[in-house]
Amino acid sequence: MARLRATPTVTSTVTIEPPRFDRPEVEIRASARRTKTGTAHWSGHRIVVQIPARLRGRERASLVDALVERLMTQRPSVNSGDAGLEARAATLAELYLDGVQAASVRWSTSQRRRWASCSPDTREVRVSTRLQQCPEWVIDAVLVHELAHLHEADHSAAFHEWANRHPRQGECALYLEGYALGLGLRIESDVEVG
Ligand SMILES: [Zn+2]
């Protein structure tokens, strides 16, 4: 079978990758006008990636991954709305915590010695606005930690079984330890107290 000659008339295409637990929705614009480099930018809660249309398969996927990962470390605080935080918490609860429901999930500027908190009585989860600059997976791990308290109030083995359903709790604790040092903060517990 004759192979069609590759000509520069390749059309541009747009594809959408749905959000995953560790990254938001990614819109991929493959442009025939691009030859080598790719770029990416935030558009609301979505990342838009522009890549050369000629890339295929693994080469295409790894360029997209690299662009997305780089951008996620430079995320501006577009994640600063309570509605987005609450929606994320609901998604994570479905994924990891058998759909447990908080009464409310909000950003808080008054968390001085903790990253986040959960009141098992009122079922309110609060997350320090200091975490808005952190990568999304860190915020996710913190949310899962707090939501797990709706199953188990203390830090028992049963609690950790719930919390560790999110695969990056250990990394998150290390990350936050370094983040606290960088900010000159004294945090009373790895993630939260009470
Ligand atoms: Zn805790």
Map out the domains of the chain with their CATH numbers.
13-74 (no CATH), 78-183 (3.30.2010.10)
CA of 154 to the centre of ligand 1 (A): 7
* C-alpha neighbours within 13 Å on the C-beta side of residue 11: 3
pLDDT at 188: 64
Per-residue pLDDT, 52: 94
Distance 137 CA to ligand 1 centre (A): 17
* DSSP 8-state class, residue 190: S
Q: State pTM to two decimals.
A: 0.60
Q: Output the CA 155–ligand 1 centroid distance in Å.
A: 6
The dihedral sign for the CA sequence 90, 91, 95, 96? negative
User: Cα(first)–Cα(last) distance of the chain, in Å?
Assistant: 69
pLDDT at position 186 is: 74
For residue 182, report the distance from its CA to the centre of ligand 1, in Å: 22
